[in-house]
Structure 1
């Protein structure tokens, strides 16, 4: 599974998944997920489901790591300097991670 950012060709297929992901809620890594930073981004491994996800962009890793420290995914995106114009791409990536239980709704730290 990959949670890299989809290009415009794949965006239409992921639009419905992203629509269900609320950027204005608090999110965090699932407690059973381990993050291994890599030169391309990171590997996420869920010990409960035994699923592996690839984050193929360092900015997406920065966003995922910032999630628990902010009241919403939108606030985390702003904190790591993601431009508002590209937020829909990151929303789709976060929706993919939420669908695979890599991230879950939760209170900020």
Structure 2
């Protein structure tokens, strides 16, 4: 998997599936980077500055990335 930052967010390319995904905001890119090595999504969102009103949208985006195999869910 390759993550390429862009002015709008980032491109994510999976070499095994040849699937291209987009992180449509720089803040979403920040959240994804903060998730590296942790299972605490709430902390990643908070530390990236995602407010309560935006939280549901970011969780939906993270669920979509997990469904596409960009993110791998960890056991609680």
TM-score, with length taken from structure 1: 0.64
| 2:40 matched residue in structure 1 | 72
- Choose from 23, 44, 57 the match for 2:25: 57
Structure 2 gaps, min length 5: none
Higher RCO by CA contacts (8 Å cutoff, separation 6 or greater): 1
Q: Is the radius of gyration larger for structure 1 or structure 2?
A: 1
CA RMSD of aligned residues (A): 1.4
Q: Deviations over 1:3-26 (max 9, x none)?
A: xxxxxxxxxxxxxxxxxxxxxxxx
Alpha-carbon shift at residue 41 of structure 1 (Å)? 0.6
Q: How many residues align?
A: 75
Does the Cα contact within 8 Å between 2:39 and 2:74 map onto a contact in 1?
no
CA deviation after TM superposition for structure 1 residue 106, in Å: 3.6
Paired residue for 1:97, among 61, 65, 69?
A: 65
- 1:70 CA displacement: 3.3
4+ residue stretches of structure 1 with deviation over 6 A?
A: none
Question: CA 1:69–1:54 in structure 2 vs 1: closer, same or farther (change >3 Å)?
Answer: same
TM-score under structure 2 length normalisation: 0.89
Distance across 1 between alignment mates of 2:47 and 2:9: 18
